[in-house]
Amino acid sequence: MFDRRALAKAITMVESTRPDHRLEAQRLISEALPHTGNSIRVGISGTPGVGKSTFIEAFGLFLCAAGHRVAVLAVDPSSTRHGGSILGDKTRMPGLAVHEAAFIRPSPSGGTLGGVARRTRESMLLCEAAGFDVILVETVGVGQSETAVAQMTDAFVLLMAPAGGDELQGVKRGIMELADLLVVNKADGSLLPIATATLADYASAMRLVRPRSPQWTPRAMLVSALTRTGIDAVWSALEDYRTALSDSGEWSARRASQQVSWFEDEVTERVLEVFHHDATIAALRNGIAEQVAAGSMNPSRAADELLRGWNGPGGARSV
Ligand SMILES: Nc1nc2c(ncn2[C@@H]2O[C@H](COP(=O)(O)OP(=O)(O)OP(=O)(O)O)[C@@H](O)[C@H]2O)c(=O)[nH]1
Ligand SMILES: [Mg+2]
């Protein structure tokens, strides 16, 4: 059963880099796994200031009122710079922060995108095991974190601000391709006309990008997170999306392939870890780097040279 403190502690374990904590985290994940899978995992992205937190507050409260349990996680590898956005996130979501059917976990501070992504995947599972059936993963729409989030969630919602034609031109096609749902926020007051025009622009731009799924044509819609209008339509669209993908088997196929990519990421990470902690490599590395810097060895040959020095984990020659 849901125990907020136990969940928070478990997430702290999976966020820790201490080797003994890693073992404990793996145990917790194994325990959680049989109780996972019964949720919808939604990535929510958008540029700073677009209204992600305000939207999640409105959307989360709407879902809680409808009987759901909502967990909010944040992926923000850049948060090292400002030491995490704990206060920011919680004060922007005052209602959700104190709601008994909601759980907000701010960005783990620091680390590589890969590390943050792994912790988020594990945290999602822990939240599911604790009985949360809607998992919202917030990420700032800069850098590569949205791709990582789109790959670990079921649905990807892209929030956009009302904007003129020039700004629209600047929106990267890559991010549009990720969106299952494009939501133009701030459709209120004096911004309403421009939001409406922006929606039309995006809707036609979206017709040019290849949809992620053959079962789903991405939709664009207007909301105001501030006045809480259009929020229910976002949820109905997500439910339609879930139905379309579930009926065709794509939902579970995607989750299966996400498990495999997670495994692949873990392998890559382990190999790198072992490699970087290898004594022979450490001894060779600087010397070879000096030759590269001096121009007496080309970087590509240097990499071969370094790998030749590696016996692999456990001493078995593997390269
Ligand atoms: N008019 C209007 N303002 C909004 C709306 N949603 C958010 N805002 C305002 O936009 C500003 C940024 O909102 P946030 O929710 O903090 O945006 P964010 O995307 O979470 O920002 P970061 O966490 O910094 O990336 C705040 O001043 C909000 O009050 C909306 O629907 N309409
Ligand atoms: Mg925010």
Residue 260 has a pLDDT of 92
Round the CA-based radius of gyration of the chain to a whole number and report it: 22
Look at 110 and 116; give whichever has higher pLDDT: 116
Q: Is the pLDDT of residue 4 over 60?
A: yes
**What confidence tier does 17 reach under pLDDT thresholds 50, 70, 90?**
confident
- What is the arithmetic mean of pLDDT over 274-302? 91
Task: Please list, in sequence order, all residues whose beta carbon lies within 8 angstroms of the beta carbon of residue 284, skipping any fewer than 6 positions away.
Answer: 305, 306, 309
Query: How many whole angstroms from 50 Cα to the centroid of ligand 1?
Result: 5
Query: How many whole angstroms from 58 Cα to the centroid of ligand 2?
Result: 13
Pocket perturbation via mutation, ligand 1, pick of 54, 149, 199 by most ligand atoms within 8 A of CB: 54
Residue 314 has a pLDDT of 54
Torsion of CA 125, 129, 130, 134, to 10 degrees: 60
Residue 82 has a pLDDT of 47
Q: Retrieve residue 309's tokens.
A: 């020095």
| Nearest ligand to the CA atom of 46 | 1
- What is the arithmetic mean of pLDDT over 113-131? 87
- What is the arithmetic mean of pLDDT over 11-31? 90
Residue 254 has a pLDDT of 93
Do residues 66 and 40 touch, judged by C-beta distance below 8 A? no
CB of 92 within 6 A of ligand 1: the answer is yes
Do residues 152 and 258 touch, judged by C-beta distance below 8 A? yes
Look at 316 and 144; give whichever has higher pLDDT: 144
Average pLDDT, the chain: 87
| Nearest ligand to the CA atom of 54 | 1
Residue 22 has a pLDDT of 87
Instruction: Look up tokens 């996130």; give the residue.
Output: 89
The ligand 1 atom at the shortest distance from the C-alpha of residue 46 is 19
Q: Is the pLDDT of residue 91 over 80?
A: no
Q: Which of 82-91, 192-201, 221-230 is least confident?
A: 82-91
Residues within 5 A (CB) of ion ligand 2: 52-53
- What values do phi and psi take at 65, rounded to 5? -65, -30
Residue 83 has a pLDDT of 43
CB of 186 within 6 A of ligand 1: the answer is yes
Q: Is the pLDDT of residue 90 over 70?
A: no
Do residues 33 and 27 touch, judged by C-beta distance below 8 A? no
Q: pLDDT tens digits, residue range 260-281?
A: 988 898 898 888 888 888 888 8
Residue having the nearest C-alpha atom to atom 2 of ligand 1: 186
Whole-structure pTM value: 0.87
Highest mean pLDDT among 30-44, 46-60, 192-206, 223-237: 223-237
305, with CB counted inside 10 A (0-12, 13-18, 19+), is middle
Q: Which of 25-29, 129-133, 315-319 is least confident?
A: 315-319
CB of 121 within 6 A of ligand 1: the answer is no
What would the 3-class secondary structure string for 236-284 be? HHHHHHHHHHHHHCHHHHHHHHHHHHHHHHHHHHHHHHHHHCCHHHHHH
Task: Please list, in sequence order, all residues whose beta carbon lies within 8 angstroms of the beta carbon of residue 241, skipping any fewer than 6 positions away.
Answer: 155, 180, 181, 216
| Nearest ligand to the CA atom of 188 | 1
The ligand 1 atom at the shortest distance from the C-alpha of residue 48 is 25
Look at 92 and 14; give whichever has higher pLDDT: 14
Query: How many whole angstroms from 216 Cα to the centroid of ligand 1?
Result: 29
Q: Please work out, in degrees rounded to the nearest 5, the angle formed at the alpha carbon of residue 17 by the alpha carbons of 13 and 20.
A: 65
Q: pLDDT tens digits, residue range 138-184?
A: 987 666 778 888 889 999 999 999 986 666 666 667 788 889 999 99
| Strand blocks (E) in the chain | 40-46, 70-75, 102-105, 134-140, 155-160, 181-184, 219-222
Torsion of CA 55, 220, 74, 82, to 10 degrees: -80
Q: pLDDT tens digits, residue range 59-87?
A: 999 999 999 999 999 876 665 444 445 45
Do residues 219 and 237 touch, judged by C-beta distance below 8 A? yes
